[in-house]
């Protein structure tokens, strides 16, 4: 297998429209029969190819993110909490799945924003690490041209399926496809049992907006696992690729922050706000087979650890067991509502005539974007009795007492 020759030179772009419809950007394609083809495609087509190559077979949601720069040139990505920026990927079987992400992308390109794609699909409409369960890709990010030689050396050994020039200071993004999805999280219990992608169980702390980890739970199970050794396989594999490129003056040559499973990378066919240049697909390899994860990173070393791995013992953490009852269970008991697998529901509040399905429900909490009701199991119990939710419920001892009694009567057998 022959690795591509990487250079830091920018191609000359022809005059363009706002969406890059007339901007011709070169790329090299190795076809399925092994032939090399040097061609050109518009910036719009680079967006289409990049999206399809990553997510045509993905299950879940594609995160489309937009950002802008302040006067100091610092980038701010401001869409990660917006549910309408998490769109169904191609694995669901819809032949027109790509239209919505591309339409959304065009809107931001016309507005002069910078565009980014989530590499791993999200299982929930959120940008957090918990929303990622599996990835069919591994990746890394080289920020500048001075270290592209090290990337070239890695590609001689392990050619990548996709190289995207980031249009910044000569940097590059490399993507490798793997034969089997890599899990985002695994924990091993003291009895040796391996649990894949457990839910983190968190409860609020006295500091507003912060939570603490109190354990893990298998999806659909009642038991909270409080002693476990945790591993993040996607992050670990990406860190091995990053470590393989080495260090320069005490820091990683590749961007270490890019190892995280919910990472966003620049979308080919969009402008870099720092340089004004178009990011582009430099090379696309349709001939190269997918890698077994062991073949790709099994012979690469882990980075040295600054502290030893410790088994997390959370048995001393105090928590309210009722708050750990999954939302589908307590909604069925308290509101007589069966939650769908995806999408919002109509707010069950007797005081809210909700006709547009305004309530979103997470693993343990809910929020109505119409009337503002939000919270956990106790808040739902109060809501169904015409009571307050959120901070108002926490401040009202009598109302909270009534809600707690309702929960105890209806849900004690679920503990």
> Quick one: 120 and 248 in the same domain?
yes
- Please report whether residue 250 resides in a domain: yes
pLDDT recorded at residue 403: 95
pLDDT recorded at residue 153: 94
Domain end among 291, 312, 337: 291
Residue 358 gets the label, from left (phi > 0), alpha (psi -120 to 50) or beta, of alpha
The residue range of the domain holding 350 is 321-414
pLDDT recorded at residue 16: 41
What tokens were used for 147? 């270290």
- Please report whether residue 3 resides in a domain: no
> Quick one: 348 and 406 in the same domain?
yes
**Residue in the block written with tokens 């719009």:** 44
> Quick one: 247 and 357 in the same domain?
no
- Please report whether residue 187 resides in a domain: no
Domain end among 253, 269, 291: 291
Supply the CATH number for residue 168's domain: 3.90.920
> Quick one: 284 and 361 in the same domain?
no
Q: Are 233 and 182 in contact (CB under 8 A)?
A: yes
> Quick one: 374 and 287 in the same domain?
no
Residues 305 and 236: their CA atoms lie apart, in Å, by: 12
CA dihedral for 51, 57, 58, 59, sign (positive or negative): positive
What tokens were used for 267? 């979308």
> Quick one: 276 and 337 in the same domain?
no
Domain end among 291, 309, 339: 291
Which pairs with CB-CB distance under 8 Å and at least 24 residues apart come from 221-227?
A: 222/414, 222/415, 224/319, 224/321, 224/324, 225/187, 225/189, 225/195, 225/198, 226/313, 226/314, 226/315, 226/317, 227/189, 227/190, 227/311, 227/312, 227/313, 227/314, 227/315
> Quick one: 344 and 244 in the same domain?
no
Query: Running along the chain, 415 residues long, what does each successive block of 10 average in pLDDT?
Result: 54 48 91 96 96 96 95 91 94 94 95 95 91 96 87 95 87 96 92 88 69 79 80 96 90 91 96 91 97 96 73 62 85 93 89 90 87 92 93 90 94 84
- Please report whether residue 190 resides in a domain: no
> Quick one: 342 and 262 in the same domain?
no
> Quick one: 118 and 263 in the same domain?
yes
- Please report whether residue 397 resides in a domain: yes
- Please report whether residue 401 resides in a domain: yes
> Quick one: 255 and 350 in the same domain?
no
> Quick one: 389 and 241 in the same domain?
no
Count the domains in the chain. 2
Residue 236 gets the label, from left (phi > 0), alpha (psi -120 to 50) or beta, of alpha
**Which residue, among 251, 74, 257, has the nearest Cα to 146 in the 3D structure?**
251
- Please report whether residue 2 resides in a domain: no
**Which residue, among 120, 105, 97, 245, has the nearest Cα to 176 in the 3D structure?**
120
> Strand pairing of 366-368 and 75-77?
unpaired
> Quick one: 88 and 139 in the same domain?
yes
Full 3-state SS string of the chain:
CCCCCCCCCCCCCCCCCCCCCCCEEEEEEECCCCCEEEEEEEHHHHHHHHHHHHHCCCCCEEEEEEEEECCCCCEEECCCCCHHHEEECHHHCCCCCCHHHHHHHHHHHHCCCEEEEECCCECCCCCCHHHECEEEEEEEEECCHHHHHHHHHHHHHCCCCEEEECCCCCCEEEEEEEEEEEECCEEECCCCCEEECCEEEEEECCCCCCEEEEEEECCCCCCCECEEEEECHHHHHHHHHHHHCCEECCEECECHHHHCCCCEEECCCCECCCCCCECEEEEEECCCCCECHHHHHCCCCCCCCCCCCCCEECCCCCCCHHHHCCHHHHHHHHCCCCCCCCCCECCCCCCCCCCCCCEEECCCCEEECCCCCEECHHHHHHHHCCCCCHHHHHHCHHHHHHHHHHHHHHHHHHC
- Please report whether residue 191 resides in a domain: no
Q: In terms of C-beta density within 10 A (0-12 exposed, 13-18 middle, 19 or more buried), how is residue 87 classed?
A: buried
């Amino acid at each position: 297998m022959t690795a591509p020759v990487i250079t830091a030179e920018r191609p000359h772009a022809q005059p363009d429209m706002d969406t890059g419809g007339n901007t011709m950007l070169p790329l090299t394609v190795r076809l399925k029969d092994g032939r090399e083809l040097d061609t050109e495609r518009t910036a719009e087509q680079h967006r289409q190819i990049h999206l399809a190559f990553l997510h045509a077979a993905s299950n879940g949601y594609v995160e489309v993110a937009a950002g802008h720069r302040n006067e100091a040139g610092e980038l701010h990505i401001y869409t990660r909490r917006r549910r309408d920026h998490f769109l169904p990927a191609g694995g669901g079987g819809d032949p027109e799945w790509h239209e919505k992400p591309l339409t959304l992308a065009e809107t931001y390109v016309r507005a002069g924003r910078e565009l980014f794609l989530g590499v791993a699909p999200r299982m929930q409409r959120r940008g957090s690490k918990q929303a990622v369960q599996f990835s069919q890709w591994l990746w890394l990010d080289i920020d500048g041209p001075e270290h592209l030689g090290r990337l070239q050396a890695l590609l001689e050994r392990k050619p990548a399926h996709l190289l995207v020039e980031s249009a910044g200071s000569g940097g590059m993004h490399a993507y490798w496809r793997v034969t089997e999805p890599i899990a985002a999280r695994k924990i091993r219990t003291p009895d040796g049992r391996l649990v894949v992608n457990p839910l983190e169980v968190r409860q609020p702390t006295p500091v507003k907006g912060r939570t603490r980890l109190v354990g893990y739970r298998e999806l659909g199970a009642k038991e909270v696992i409080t002693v476990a050794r945790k591993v993040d396989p996607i992050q670990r594999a990406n860190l091995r690729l990053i470590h393989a490129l080495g260090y320069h003056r005490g820091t990683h040559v590749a961007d270490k922050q890019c190892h995280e499973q919910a990472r966003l990378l620049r979308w080919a066919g969009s402008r870099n706000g720092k340089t004004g240049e178009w990011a582009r697909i430099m090379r696309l390899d349709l001939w190269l087979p997918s890698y077994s994860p062991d073949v790709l990173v099994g012979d690469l070393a882990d980075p040295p650890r600054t502290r030893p791995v410790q088994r997390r013992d959370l048995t001393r953490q105090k928590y309210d067991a009722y708050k750990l009852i999954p939302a589908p269970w307590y909604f069925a008991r308290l509101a007589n509502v069966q939650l769908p697998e995806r999408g919002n529901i109509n707010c069950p509040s007797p005081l809210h005539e909700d006709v547009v399905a305004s309530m979103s429900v997470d693993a343990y909490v809910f929020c109505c974007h119409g009337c503002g009701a939000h919270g956990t199991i106790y808040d739902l119990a109060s809501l169904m009795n015409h009571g307050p939710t959120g901070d108002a419920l926490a401040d009202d001892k009598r109302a909270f007492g009534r809600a707690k009694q309702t929960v105890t009567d209806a849900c004690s057998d679920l503990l």
